[in-house]
């Protein structure tokens, strides 16, 4: 036992020498690589962008004590390009509403990664103004007439998120207004149509309506020439001819074959337009048309259901005046009121709707064009 005890100091010395030798061989090398990369300037690791808008991603390197290669090249990738795209320089563009992940890497340091959620939403634009076209802010209507005000209203900005409007009349006994902005003149008097944004924006507009009894002044039809789009079927019983529209007789008429129909050897293709053009020989101002149906025939299937009206001063280029106006086929005659006075030499009447099942022709007995006075 004593021998072992005596040997301990020697063993201890040898172990010390061994450890000292090992200590001399250890080398501490400090890492020169950055600790990470991060997306700066975002909250809750989320990037919010509106559709069609852009946002530049800003990156930073968490270097610690490392020497960072400059500049670091970042690599960007979108997890869903239907939500957002990202350019090689980190510019995000919103494509569609939704969420996707932005992945970012560093070209010089492949092991370093960063990511964030990209949330794409539609930007909401409130209505800032409602403008009524010139001539319609203070408008006079004839008793019994209708005006669709909506086409003469401009909502700004053009990209308003909810451009819907609400309409209200100050006196429904004088003039009513529908949800779509269609005003109907009931009796003589005055009413104000107030226009308010449906989105609650603090703007509005007003249209002053005056309702009066009108005097209808037909233009002189002497010398007018009417040219139909197709050859007319023979029908002596009704004196079928273009000039029958101008003869002051409601027993004669202009009768034209309907599209996709045949009559008296005349066939009109399904896709062909059926119309007639009135040449008044000189430019004339007018704001209404009056149409009469045959007095000796009341079959609705022989009458047009809807019409479009165009004007021209050269007979070639026609400008729309009113389109797809319901033709009151149940009435013996009716007026088509134009929203504003126009001045043309040529007037084109296009048939846009009719009975597709019964009857091969469409008939009109009389056409007058004129200018109202109050």
What is the architecture, at CATH level 2, of domain 129-213? Sandwich (2.60)
CA–CA separation, 341 and 13 (whole Å): 120
pLDDT, tens digit, 9 for 90 and up, residues 303-340: 999 999 999 999 999 999 999 999 999 999 999 999 99
CA–CA separation, 132 and 205 (whole Å): 8
- pLDDT given for residue 9 in this prediction: 47
What is the architecture, at CATH level 2, of domain 36-121? Sandwich (2.60)
Sign of the Cα pseudo-torsion (77, 80, 82, 84, in order): negative
CA–CA separation, 363 and 293 (whole Å): 7
What is the architecture, at CATH level 2, of domain 217-373? Sandwich (2.60)
Tell me whether domains 36-121 and 129-213 share a fold: yes
pTM assigned to the model: 0.71
Residue 315 dihedral angles phi and psi, to the nearest 5°? 80, 0
Domain ranges of the chain: 36-121, 129-213, 217-373
pLDDT, tens digit, 9 for 90 and up, residues 256-290: 999 999 999 999 999 999 999 999 999 999 999 99
- pLDDT given for residue 7 in this prediction: 44
pLDDT, tens digit, 9 for 90 and up, residues 170-206: 999 999 999 999 999 999 999 999 999 999 999 999 9
Reported as type and span, the H/E element at residue 182 is: strand 182-185
CA–CA separation, 207 and 263 (whole Å): 49
> What DSSP line would sit under 129-146, residue for residue?
EEEEPTTSSEEEEETT-E
Instruction: From residue 198, give the alpha-carbon distance in Å to each of 30, 130, 162, 170, 227.
Output: 66, 12, 7, 18, 47
- pLDDT given for residue 67 in this prediction: 78
Residue 274 in contact with residue 230, Cβ under 8 Å? yes
Reported as type and span, the H/E element at residue 333 is: strand 333-353
- pLDDT given for residue 20 in this prediction: 44
């Amino acid at each position: 036992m004593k021998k072992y005890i005596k040997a301990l100091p020697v063993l201890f010395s040898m172990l010390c020498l061994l450890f000292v030798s090992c200590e001399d061989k250890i080398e501490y090398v400090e890492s020169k690589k950055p600790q990470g990369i991060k997306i700066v300037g975002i909250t809750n690791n989320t990037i919010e962008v509106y559709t069609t808008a852009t946002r530049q991603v800003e990156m930073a390197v968490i270097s610690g004590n490392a020497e960072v290669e400059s500049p670091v090249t970042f690599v960007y990738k979108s997890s869903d390009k239907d939500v957002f795209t990202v350019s090689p320089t980190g510019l995000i563009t919103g494509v569609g509403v939704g969420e996707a992940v932005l992945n970012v890497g560093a070209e010089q340091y492949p092991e370093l990664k960063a990511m964030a959620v990209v949330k794409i939403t539609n930007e909401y634009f409130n209505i800032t103004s409602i403008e009524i076209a010139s001539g319609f802010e203070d408008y006079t209507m004839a008793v019994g007439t209708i005006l669709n005000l909506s086409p003469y209203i401009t909502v700004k900005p053009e990209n308003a998120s909810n451009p819907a409007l609400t309409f209200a009349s100050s006196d429904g006994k004088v003039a009513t207004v529908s949800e779509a902005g269609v005003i109907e003149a009931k009796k003589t008097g005055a009413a104000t149509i107030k226009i308010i944004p449906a989105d609650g924006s603090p703007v509005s507009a007003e249209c002053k309506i005056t309702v009066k009894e009108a005097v209808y002044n037909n233009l002189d039809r002497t010398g007018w020439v009417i040219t139909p789009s197709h050859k007319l079927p023979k029908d002596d019983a009704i004196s079928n001819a273009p000039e029958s529209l101008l003869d002051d007789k409601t027993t004669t008429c202009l009768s034209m074959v309907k599209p996709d129909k045949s009559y008296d050897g005349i066939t009109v293709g399904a896709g062909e337009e059926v119309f007639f053009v009135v040449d008044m020989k000189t430019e004339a101002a007018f704001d209404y048309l009056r149409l009469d149906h045959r007095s000796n025939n009341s079959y609705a299937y022989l009458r047009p259901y809807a019409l479009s009206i165009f004007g021209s001063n050269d007979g070639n280029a026609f400008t729309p005046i009113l389109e797809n106006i319901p033709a009151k086929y149940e009435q013996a005659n009716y007026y088509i009121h134009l929203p504003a006075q126009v001045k043309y030499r040529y007037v084109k009447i296009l048939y846009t709707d009719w009975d597709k099942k019964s009857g091969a022709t469409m008939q009109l007995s009389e056409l007058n064009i004129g200018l109202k006075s109050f």
